[in-house]
Amino acid sequence: MEAGAILIPQFDNFKGRCFKISCISPDLTMRGTREMTLSERLKSSTKPLHDSAEGHNFQRLLANGLLSLADYGAYLEQLFLVHTVLEKNIKHFGANDKRLASIVGQEQLQESFLKEDLEFLGSNPSSIEPLPVTAKFIRKIEVSAKDNPSSLLGFHYVLLGSKHGGKFIARNLKQKYSFNDAGTRYFDPYGELFMQHWRSFISGLNEAEFSETEDKSIIEAAKETFVAVSEVGSALESRMLERAN
């Protein structure tokens, strides 16, 4: 019997008697059902990693405004390095791939927001050194971009999507650090316009045509991004504990 098959009794049309059991594949019973969109597959495939990253202790400290200002700045520095490489590759490969260029608009890019926040905090973006885990992730982005430029959409999906909760983080940070509008631009750069930008990205993602290989590379890149966020948080938290001891 095929794994997961559904048992359906068949009846004798003349005497109304059940005379045998047949196996019908779920694929046949689901024929005509709408296939999941790429964004839906991204969401379902990455949910465990998303939940793990979101529940990481460093993210909890960040979201509640419990990091020192120095540790907050250190986190932004690592994100700046990631966005710089990611967005450079999006622009480079988007010049020859109309899908990339049409899906990721200039307004979705985040590097300038991070640079603005870092300069406000007194950090020089040009002198930032990557943590080993950040350097590893940056290499993944670069290699993945060369192998399959479409994968850049998976990295971008996670980082742009982080703005869903960013406005709440920004609000808490403003209270914690007594910021006005500066210092939290990265987490809430669009205000009420965020969903407009997000829907534009998701719509473009779902409407574009990708090969099976490209599709898988996008999902894999998204997974790697959630892992990297957790690893950066762990590295920074370890550094915090070392200082405390």
Do 159 and 85 have their domain in common? yes
159 lies in which domain range?
35-244
Same domain? For 164 and 177 the reply is yes
Q: Are residues 159 and 174 in the same domain?
A: yes
Structure tokens belonging to residue 195:
């969903």
Q: How far apart are CA 193 and CA 107, in angstroms?
A: 11
User: Angle 119-125-131 (CA atoms, 0-180°, nearest 5)?
Assistant: 125
pLDDT of residue 79: 99
- Regarding whether 142 and 21 lie in a shared domain, the answer is no
Distance CA 212, CA 39 (A): 14
pLDDT number for residue 181: 80
Both 19 and 63 in a single domain? no
Say how many domains are in the chain. Answer: 2
CA dihedral of residues 42, 48, 51, 57 (deg, nearest 10):
-130
The three-class DSSP label of residue 194 is helix
What is the pLDDT, as a whole number, of residue 110?
98
Residue in this structure with the two tokens 């969109």, named with its chain if needed? 37
Same-domain status, 23 and 103: no
CA–CA dist 151, 219 (Å, integer)? 8
Structural element, H or E, at residue 121: none
Question: 64: Cβ–Cβ under 8 A, 6 or more apart, which residues?
Answer: 172
- Are 117 and 107 within one domain? yes
Whole-angstrom distance, CA of residue 37 vs CA of residue 200: 15
Are 140 and 88 contacting, i.e. CB atoms less than 8 angstroms apart? no
pTM metric for this prediction: 0.85
For the stretch 194-204, what's the b/e string if a residue is b when 16 or more beta carbons lie within 10 angstroms of its beta carbon? beebbebbbeb
Q: Give alpha helix (H) positions in 37-107.
A: 38-54, 57-63, 69-94, 98-103
Q: Which two tokens stand for residue 112?
A: 């300038």
Q: Each residue's pLDDT tens digit in the chain (245 positions)?
A: 444 433 333 334 434 444 343 343 444 333 344 699 999 999 999 999 999 999 999 999 999 999 999 999 999 999 999 999 999 999 999 999 999 999 999 999 999 999 999 999 999 999 999 999 999 999 999 999 999 999 999 999 999 999 999 999 999 999 999 998 899 999 999 999 999 999 999 999 999 999 999 999 999 999 999 999 999 999 999 999 888 88
51 and 5, same structural domain?
A: no
